[in-house]
Structure formats: structure tokens, C-alpha cells
Amino acid sequence: MTRDRLVVIGGDAAGMSAASQARRLRGAGELEIIALERGRYTSYSACGIPYWLAGDVADPDDLIARAPEEFREKYQIDVRLGHEATELDLQRREIRVRDDAGERTLPFDQLMIATGAVPIRPPLPGIDLPGVHGVQTLDDGAAVQNSLRQDWQHAVVIGGGYIGLEMAEALTRRGLAVTIVEGADQLMSTMDSDMAERITEAARGIGITVRLGEPARAIEGTDRVRAVRTDAGTLPADLVVLGLGVRPNSGLARAAGIACGATGGIATDAGMRSTSHDGVWAAGDCVETFHRISRRPVHIALGTHANKQGRVAGTVIGGGYATFPGVVGTAITKVCEVEIARTGLSSKEVAAAGFAAVTATIESTTRAGYFPKAQSMLTKIIAERGSGRLLGAQIVGREQAAKRIDVLATALWNEMTVEEMSGMDLSYAPPFSPVWDPVLIAARKAAEKVATT
């Protein structure tokens, strides 16, 4: 009996989740699995890179969930590091692979694409100078770590999204003077402007210089980066980090004729199958997915989605049944002691999706106000006018604030109205919450607005 061969392109969350799950369902005698990873690591936490660079994580090995040896020995998956897929021939069912020894072709029966995302690199003069870093993989993080020198003084972060903020904090803690240059008039475009003001205050509060409405125009230097030029002047830079977000790394698939969607991500069905080619699956940051609130395709690069999608793909490849139900856009981060969280749609996204909405924003505390170390938090809820259905929520606050977003995400997932939410039975004790939790207060305020509009 001949074995099917599954080739997985990409050895991080989605790819190795798919490979492992397929192996659980189909033994080595039925299915040969080869995983190609162009870098040096498998199954690592890219989200942990800024915290390693800041010193919170002592060793990059701590970010690795499963080493290649474990996949080889426990799961009988042939992991090949330093192997980059350069071309797909879907008609011949072959992959062109490059490694240190040269190039060769690798046949496959089934294909799993998990090529992830790549940092957005605008066409700025000097963008390819040494010292300019995108931070998406553990190899990227290692490149930043290995390049840092004690005599360096200045870092510039281009873009004020999640990775930009996290890297700005990390480099500040490493002793560099950090400037964020952001072309928009606020940090974190996924947040509403009133919430973003608190984030800007937090960044400036730890010594980060924030320059809004000031896009980078050029990166200057000869042998390496020396400065970043904007319309307002030139900023010295020993190091530049790109924090402009990411795009799906779907070029390999697109070149092979695999269908991609409006977001640039690979188009898949609910079982993570390619919508255009049989025997091809894709998952993780290289795909587009379905937003359960806007009902539109989106590209949201998060390890949570990648792991779930990979497991779904692996289940289907292994002969089982599973579907990925979509996303609601829940995300969380922090700037030093200030926690930031959001779920659902922002006010701009609500308008773009065609909803009429009301908003309610309340200031409260993370614990009972009289309890020691009670911290302030700002909670914002967006609800559909008329129905009162929750459309989105945002939180900016200090310790114990941000994880409350999970209550709101659960309500959003289950299409609750703010009136229903205002009566939810949430836990209470003074060390954890005021007697009226901020989520309940915001929901009640939103319900009152819905009732009067």
C-alpha cells in the first residue's frame, strides 16, 4: 500500500498544528508528513519576541513550544529546517525547494500552506539598509537582539500599531531613546481616537517620543541606518523597527494560481481548504478569514487564530470533520503598566459596515474604589441603534483591566444585546471588581442610549 504524502510549508503555529493533528488521525503507515521551515525554529511564540528583547523572557528557547526533535520523534513528522519553498507546480504536484545544498523538487499528494505574514515594508528610500528590522519571526527577533550595541542611543519605530508599541517599550527598557513616527493622527488605528489618546499618554509617560501625523519619508545612511527623515526634520537612528503591521505572505500561492481574496490572504472554505484547488489547504496569517460582525473578509494575524485554523485543517486532512467559525477581532496588549484591549468593530469599522450605532464610555476602577491598588480603567461599548446588539468594545486601563475584554468578546460572539448584558451575573469581591463591574455599567449606559434613540 502506498502512502499519501502531505507537505506542510511553514513550521510555526498553523503548519505544525495541522501536521500534528493530521498525524493523530492518520498513522505514519498511511500518511507521510514533511514540514518545510525556512528558518531555524518551529512552533514558537512570535508574540513573545518583544518581551524577550525587553528582558522579561531570559532565553529565546523559552518561546519555543515544541522543538523539531519532538515533532520528529513523537509525531514522526519529517521537519526540515532551512528549507524554503520557492515555487509550486500544482499540476505536477511538485514543490521547488531551496536549502544550503541547492534546489530540488519535492513531490506531494496533499499540500498545507502556512507561510504566515510579513512586515509591511513601504517603498521608502533606504528601507533595505542594515539596521532596519521587521519583527515577525523568531529569526527576526534574534537579528534585532544580535545587532544591539551598548553604544547605541537612538531607535526609531515607524508605525504605532501593536508590534510598534511593544517594540518601542522593549527598546526603551533596553536604554535607548525611542521615537515613534506615525503618519496617522493617532496610535493604534484599530482603537477609537478617544481611547487612543490614553495610549499615547501611556507611551509618553515611559519616555517614548510620539510624533503623530508625521509619516517617515526616507531612511538615511550609507553602510547602515543613521537617521529617519520626516516632513518635520531628521531623527537620529542607530536602529529602525517597522511597526506598520503585516500583510499575508501569500505570494507563493498566488504565483501558483491559488485563489486569494480581497485582503490579499489565501481564500479558503470553512474547513480551510483552498477555494480553487483540490488537495490544498491553508491556515494562519497567510489566509483571509470571515468577520462574524461585519460579515466581511478580513486579515487578522494572530497566533490564536493560526492554531485553531491549523487544527481544523489537520482534522480535515486526517479524514475528520471540523470548521473554523470566523473571528470577532479580539486583541490585547500593553504599554508598560497600561493595558489595552478591543473586540468587534471600532467606530470607523461600524460606519464602514453600514451600521447605525450608539456608544457609551465610562470611567471606573478595576477593584472596589476603597480597596488598595484600585486602578482606573476606561471602557467603551458600541451597540447597534434599534436592536441594541453589541458591535464592539474597547478597554484602556491598568492592572486587571484588559482581560475583561473576554466577557465582552463572549457576549459579542453570542450576539447579545447591551440590555441582556447589563443583567449578566458577573463575579464580585472588592479585590477584583466594584460591586457594579465596569462591563455592566457600560452595557447599562449603552442600553439607556439605545432606548432613547
**At 62, is the pLDDT very low, low, confident or very high (cuts 50, 70, 90)?**
very high
Identify the DSSP state of 432: T
Q: CA angle, 78 as apex, 76 and 82 as ends, to 5°?
A: 150
What count of other Cβ atoms lies within 10 Å of the Cβ of residue 218?
A: 14
So what's the pLDDT on residue 332? 96
Share of the chain above pLDDT 90, in %: 97
pLDDT at 364 over 70: yes
Could you report the per-residue pLDDT of 147-179, keeping only the tens digit for each?
A: 888 889 999 999 999 999 999 999 999 999 999
Residues 374-400 have a mean pLDDT of 97
Q: Which three three-digit cell numbers place residue 15?
A: 503548519
Could you report the per-residue pLDDT of 291-321, keeping only the tens digit for each?
A: 999 999 999 999 999 999 999 999 999 999 9
Report the distance separating Cα 169 and Cα 165, nearest Å. Answer: 6
The identity of residue 428, as a single letter, is Y
pLDDT at 396 over 90: yes
So what's the pLDDT on residue 453? 86
Q: Which three three-digit cell numbers place residue 7?
A: 507537505
Could you report the per-residue pLDDT of 407-427, keeping only the tens digit for each?
A: 999 999 999 999 999 999 999
So what's the pLDDT on residue 3? 84
Report the distance separating Cα 44 and Cα 141, nearest Å. Answer: 12
The residues annotated with a catalytic role in the active site are 47
So what's the pLDDT on residue 30? 95
Q: Which three three-digit cell numbers place residue 363?
A: 470611567
pLDDT at 1 over 80: no
Could you report the per-residue pLDDT of 203-220, keeping only the tens digit for each?
A: 999 999 999 999 999 999
Could you report the per-residue pLDDT of 89-121, keeping only the tens digit for each?
A: 999 999 999 999 999 999 999 999 999 999 999
60 and 75 Cβ atoms separated by less than 8 Å: no
Residues 370-378 have a mean pLDDT of 94
pLDDT at 391 over 60: yes
Residues 37-63 have a mean pLDDT of 94
**At 47, is the pLDDT very low, low, confident or very high (cuts 50, 70, 90)?**
very high
Could you report the per-residue pLDDT of 114-139, keeping only the tens digit for each?
A: 999 999 999 999 999 999 999 999 99
- Share the mean pLDDT of the chain: 96
Whole-angstrom CA distances from 38 to 82, 154, 228 are 4, 31, 31
Task: Give start and end residues of each alpha helix (H) in 284-353.
Answer: 303-317, 347-352
Query: Per DSSP, what are the bridge partners of residue 117?
Result: 248
59-63, 262-266, 347-351: the lowest-pLDDT one: 59-63
**At 349, is the pLDDT very low, low, confident or very high (cuts 50, 70, 90)?**
very high
Regarding pTM above 0.85, the answer is: yes
DSSP conformation letters of 81-96: ET-EEEEEETTTTEEE
Report the distance separating Cα 18 and Cα 315, nearest Å. Answer: 7
